[in-house]
Amino acid sequence: MSKGANYNLKFRRRQEGKTNYYRRYVFVSTSAIREVVRLTNQHVVVQFYDIDPKGDKVLASAHSIELVKKFGWKGDTDNTSAVYLTGYLAGKRAVKVGLKSAVLDIGMFKAITGSRIFYAAKGSVDAGLEIPLGDVQIIEERIRGEHIAEYASKLEQENPEIFNKLFSRYLKRGLNPKDLPSHFEEVFNKIKENGG
């Protein structure tokens, strides 16, 4: 490890790739409510934070596993549809506790056009919050999972063996991937009526 007068050791969380301290400084200086979106290999977590000197306070949150346990979601918990629904659920809860606006905190992720992170923010916007997004190119068909349904339909005709292998988790849960858009609408309506 380098040492010397001209070597600056980064903070531990920066070394671990967990915190961008410059972005954190900007959020603290503006005192804005943050919508924090974090993607893992299997799940999505959306939380609304208020900055406090003693430690950030979570005002509202949603986890994609709730889609399965509370609303009967049978798709993957980390695809674009699940990210949107989780953002929508968190947004409904944020509106319920009195939030009107927030800024998006993407953490260490890069702001790539069409990224799933922006679909979570789009869900929160559709729930009634004001979140500045700019031009992030949200594709409505991807929200409903139409791209997955089209691919599944094509693959089932061309190669049923690969279809069964690729979509085995969907089929095991009792959902034909071709029915994902209608299943999305069903779960979306449940969240709209009972979410929060």
SS (H, E, C) 112-167: CCCCHHHHHHHHHHHCCCECCCCCCCCCHHHHHCHHHHHHHHHHHHHCHHHHHHHC
Provide the pLDDT confidence category of residue 2 given band limits of 50, 70 and 90: low
Q: Which amino acid is at 86?
A: T
pLDDT of residue 88: 98
Bridging pattern class, strands 44-50 and 57-63: antiparallel
For residue range 134-160, what is the model confidence (pLDDT) as tens digits?
888 899 999 999 999 999 999 999 999
For residue range 44-103, what is the model confidence (pLDDT) as tens digits?
999 999 988 888 899 999 999 999 999 999 999 999 999 999 999 999 999 999 999 999
- Stated as kind and residue range, the H or E segment containing 47 is strand 44-50
Provide the pLDDT confidence category of residue 1 given band limits of 50, 70 and 90: low
- Stated as kind and residue range, the H or E segment containing 37 is strand 34-39
pLDDT of residue 134: 84
Residues in a beta bridge with 34: 49, 103
pLDDT of residue 13: 72
In the chain, where are the structural domains located? 16-143
What tokens were used for 93? Answer: 């809860």
pLDDT of residue 196: 63
End-to-end CA distance of the chain: 49
For residue range 10-52, what is the model confidence (pLDDT) as tens digits?
777 767 777 777 777 777 777 789 999 999 999 999 999 998 8
Provide the pLDDT confidence category of residue 112 given band limits of 50, 70 and 90: confident
- Stated as kind and residue range, the H or E segment containing 84 is helix 80-96
How many other CB atoms are found less than 10 A from the CB of residue 157?
Answer: 9
What tokens were used for 17? Answer: 């790739």
User: Which CATH code of 3.40.50.1110, 3.40.640.10, 3.30.420.100, 3.40.1190.20 fits the domain covering 16-143?
Assistant: 3.30.420.100
Q: Taking residues 113-134, what's their average pLDDT?
A: 93
